[in-house]
Structure 1
């Protein structure tokens, strides 16, 4: 046998072995996923939105910029106004 013929035979074996090894490696990818045990509280705290609707909270005062504070207080729309703006834009 000449060199070219042996080369193609070996190339065929190498390709078959490499493709079969890639296919066999892909068969074992499933792991048993056990969900973690979470400790959840028995009761939930129901906070209303009225408790935290003040935009001038203490973190905003750290900027020491009265223009920024005034802009955030006047430009801070509530959800109903934002929803009406979205509906008006869709119309």
Structure 2
């Protein structure tokens, strides 16, 4: 019977520590209790990381500076914008207008 109580107590202790929001060691408490929110810590870490660009900014700069060839869709859209020929439907509408 005492073995069952000890086992039950250890299982309860495990779940209590698992679902507890407080750190279990003094070192963990000191590391997380610096008076800053998670967002403030994130901003501080980003500013100290040395990179002043975000991932999105780096992606945009890489896309702007890369010498990509024009895709077939881009060529088609550009050609359609430059083409001044009228379709038969457009000519019909203009002649009846």
TM-score after normalising by structure 2: 0.28
Relative to total residues, which structure has the larger helix share, 1 or 2?
2
RCO higher in structure (CA 8 A, sep ≥6): 1
TM-score after normalising by structure 1: 0.29
